[in-house]
Structure 1
Amino acid sequence: MADVESLNETMGAAFIGMTVAGLLLGISSLQAYIYFTTSSDSRPLRYLVGLVVLFDFVHQALITHTMYYYLISNYGKPAVLGLAVWSLLAEVLFNGFTAFCVQSFLTWKIWRLSNYNIWITGLVTALVLAEFGCVVAFGIIALVRVRTFIELAADLKGLSVTVNAFAAAGDVLIAAILTWLLQSSKTGFERSDTMLNKLTIYAVNTGALTSLFAVASLISILAAPNTFIYISFFFCMGRLYTNSLLASLNARKKIRGEGENVQTTSRNFSFQTKSLTKPSSFISFASKKRPGDISIQIDTTHERRAQDYSKTPTSKHEEEYELGTASTGNLSRIDFESTADIPTLPSEAHCNAV
């Protein structure tokens, strides 16, 4: 492992993964600052976000220690490159903790959006728990038994493949189910449908990024098991979960604004006639003494769905995928006015249809 080619594929790949993970940590830190200074979510959600960010910082500290141990503390010691340092093994656990927190929250959203469908939620829960169980087993076994990379490849290659396979399958399934639930909640009205389309995009992006890196890590460990290329992808997966979660949370205000910018329409029309039949019982007349025109104003109301990001959901099927507490389903109005001027009657009256 001491030659340049081997170093490029091992420590070089791991160093690139650590660098990219550090950049993603900076982005998630900024997003976390924006979230905590602008959101008014419930305490459990804020605690969850704080916990996820904390796991990311611990994970970054561990992989930084790993690279410092190999490249600085033991520089010029080729024999050390064959040993598996404890921080490299422990980082798997914190990466798994981050993924488990985000996936569990998305599973809870599926539970709510699916109107508490136990079969759909149960399938997602099974994959999430299976992945987390494999991650915990990998971390514990590695810390207790593994001392070299040869032992790591011999004893835990199968478990590592399983972790990445469950991660990819779980992320794809979550994104697919959220997309289906959100699209099936469309009402046919532009305002609500615009917001649901935006939320669908964020749901797809959340699953696409994490599953892409999980698949890349899976392919790497199968195609090049004696390199650290798969580790470079694995280093970044936790950051992608955090960034996807925070991006979705911080985008809620923007999505709501885009929905509110969809304009309602109103129609005005007038007509004239020579005669007027006696009004029905629901029309009121206010006659005046002098002869003149009759002005009739009829106001009708058409109700439709519109987005309202209030904290009290009014519709279980249109609940917003915004990783917080919101829903769609309050009513807005479109008024249609019609006026009629009838100059032939001897008195002027004003009619209001109610």
Structure 2
Amino acid sequence: MSANATVPGATGGPTFAEDSVLLYWGVSGLQGYMYFTRYNDKLWVRAVAATMLILDFVSVALICQSMYYYMLPHFGSFAPLSAVTKELSIECLIAAVITFISQMYFAYQLYMVKSPGITAAVMNSLVILFGIIGLGGAVGCVGMMFLYPHSIFMNRNHVFAILAGIAKGFGAAADIVATIAMCMFLKSAETGMKRTSGMLKSLMHLVINRGILVTVAQILLLITFFATAGHLYWLAVHINTTKLYVNTFFGMLNARTSLQERFATGHMSMSGETTVNTLRLAAPMSPKREKMGELDTQDYAMSAIRVTTSSTVADI
């Protein structure tokens, strides 16, 4: 059977796959548009964001093409489900890369926290290690999908199942550790100052919501994959998990605007083509008060939210 088969009697115009790509990619596209038109981050951050957006578009296109092949040209027949398409196999690889990029960017944020002590270093190392193991398991899954396309949906290959468990299990572990680590820092930076405490709580809510969403998705994918081995429920969860990683990635980046507007007491200044938002959380403190561990104030650009204490620095 050809993946390019058409429905008898179909007329010209936009195909099912093309329409679905535009509709399904809409949220990510809007988030990307908001980010690139509002922020002037470092070049490598913008490159990562652009890569995520492109990979997400390709992922959606491959999913739609595969769903078209399974559901429309052979409607009513289960024969196509005997093998996984190459498009879907490639999409699984792209999904693994998207997940890894999102986790490593979160690890970078943890590194920028510069929280002292061995605990912070260990937790950040665990996030990176778990993310790499998860990526390795996912790459192994894709390899099995190309080698044994007829042993993925039906009569599942045991090696494929083990590798999938490793990929999803360690992926969930990386997200859990990253969320706990970031919340520990934000909690340790609490002060008695109303404005800064409010900002820290808002940041913590963002981090927790992101962590809960992606972790629950990974665990649900793991459960449906093994508990319903004779069905394809896990495939629907897999598709939406990839979208969650993309949307939470851009959601964290775009949330800076609302936080800045909510807690700002500063001014806007223009310099050439670069817009800098100078915000002050409170009046600068004396060195004596800094030594007491109270929150110091810093100007920060739109590329980050900077929280500084006498012992920690965070660029969120």
TM-score (norm 1): 0.69
Counterpart amino acid of residue 70 in structure 1: Y
Question: Aligned with 2:296: secondary structure?
Answer: strand
**Structure 2 unaligned blocks of 5 or more:** 1-18, 266-279, 284-288
Q: Match of 2:109?
A: 109
Task: Report the more deviating stretch, 221-230 or 69-78.
Answer: 69-78
Contact 2:126–2:174 (8 Å) recurs in 1 = no
Name the CA distance, whole Å, in 2 between partners of 1:152 and 1:74. 22
Question: Aligned with 2:172: secondary structure?
Answer: helix
Name the CA distance, whole Å, in 1 between partners of 2:80 and 2:244. 31
Q: Match of 2:314?
A: 319
Q: Match of 1:305?
A: 296
Residue-pair matches, total: 267
Name the CA distance, whole Å, in 2 between partners of 1:241 and 1:111. 20
Counterpart amino acid of residue 317 in structure 1: T
Q: Match of 2:35?
A: 35
Structure in which a larger fraction of residues adopt helix: 2
Larger Rg: 1
Contact 2:140–2:160 (8 Å) recurs in 1 = no
- One of 124, 147, 150 as aligned partner of 2:150: 147
Shift of 1:314: 8.2
- One of 123, 127, 131 as aligned partner of 1:120: 123
Name the CA distance, whole Å, in 2 between partners of 1:184 and 1:177. 11
Aligned pairs for 1:264-283 (under 5 A) are none
Shift of 1:65: 1.1
Task: Report the more deviating stretch, 75-84 or 184-193.
Answer: 75-84
Shift of 1:124: 1.2
Contact 1:24–1:243 (8 Å) recurs in 2 = no
Residues 233 and 20 of structure 1, relative CA distance in 2, 3 Å threshold: farther
Question: Aligned with 2:75: secondary structure?
Answer: coil
Aligned pairs for 1:90-105 (under 5 A) are 90-105=90-105
State the identity %. 24
Name the CA distance, whole Å, in 2 between partners of 1:183 and 1:260. 21
Question: Aligned with 2:150: secondary structure?
Answer: coil
Aligned pairs for 1:156-305 (under 5 A) are 156-260=160-264, 305=296
Matching of residue 134 in structure 1 with residue 137 in structure 2: yes
**Structure 1 unaligned blocks of 5 or more:** 1-18, 266-301, 322-354
Shift of 1:80: 2.3
Residues 71 and 192 of structure 1, relative CA distance in 2, 3 Å threshold: same
Name the CA distance, whole Å, in 2 between partners of 1:233 and 1:22. 20
Shift of 1:143: 1.1
CA deviations on 1:42-92 (whole Å, 9 max, x unpaired) are 110000001011111111111111111111222344322222222222211
Name the CA distance, whole Å, in 2 between partners of 1:184 and 1:21. 44
Structure 1 vs Structure 2 CA RMSD: 2.8
TM-score (norm 2): 0.76
Task: Report the more deviating stretch, 184-193 or 195-204.
Answer: 184-193
Question: Aligned with 2:314: secondary structure?
Answer: coil
Counterpart amino acid of residue 230 in structure 1: W
Structure in which a larger fraction of residues adopt strand: 1
